[in-house]
Amino acid sequence: MVSRVGRRLLAMEQPILARHGVSMWAYIVLNALASGPMRTQAALAASIGADKTRLIPVLDDLQQRGLIEREPDPADRRVRLLGLTDIGHARHGAVQAEIRAAEDVMLRDLPADDREAFLRTLAALDH
């Protein structure tokens, strides 16, 4: 059952991400950076369950497109601190709003109480 829901969500999200020129991995990175302060590449990789080597090309692409910035940590210049640029915040917000609207359509047949409980459960499982 969970895999069917996951496949439906992915099928719903893919065209939205494509319209905004964002891959699923890029959206995951934007989402993680939008939810908290700058973090190191290692901390970001750990928080999203990605290998650092898999993450570097995604970060390079996002930086080249002006969506994120990587700055040396003043405390340790070998470390890069990550953050969203204004463009990155705007892109993340636009993608997230469109995905939430599509999720609302997908869940509209659930009674309001069930929908809220479902979303709370998903949020709890995500942490």
User: What confidence tens digit (pLDDT) does each residue in 76-115 have?
Assistant: 888 889 999 999 999 999 999 999 999 889 888 889 898 8
Amino acid letter for position 122: L
CATH number of 2-126: 1.10.10.10
- Which pTM value belongs to this model? 0.85
Binned at pLDDT 50, 70 and 90, residue 127 comes out as: low
Mind listing the pLDDT tens digit for each residue in 46-71?
Answer: 999 998 888 999 999 999 999 999 98
Burial code (b: 16+ CB inside 10 Å, e: under 16) for 63-87 equals beeebbbbeeeeeeeebbbbbbeee
Say if residues 7 and 89 touch (Cβ distance below 8 Å).
Answer: no
Alpha helical stretches, state H, the chain: 2-19, 24-34, 41-48, 52-64, 86-107, 112-126
DSSP conformation class of 67: S
Mind listing the pLDDT tens digit for each residue in 4-49?
Answer: 877 888 899 999 999 999 999 999 999 999 987 677 888 999 999 9
Binned at pLDDT 50, 70 and 90, residue 2 comes out as: low
Binned at pLDDT 50, 70 and 90, residue 1 comes out as: low
The domain segmentation of the chain, as residue ranges, is 2-126
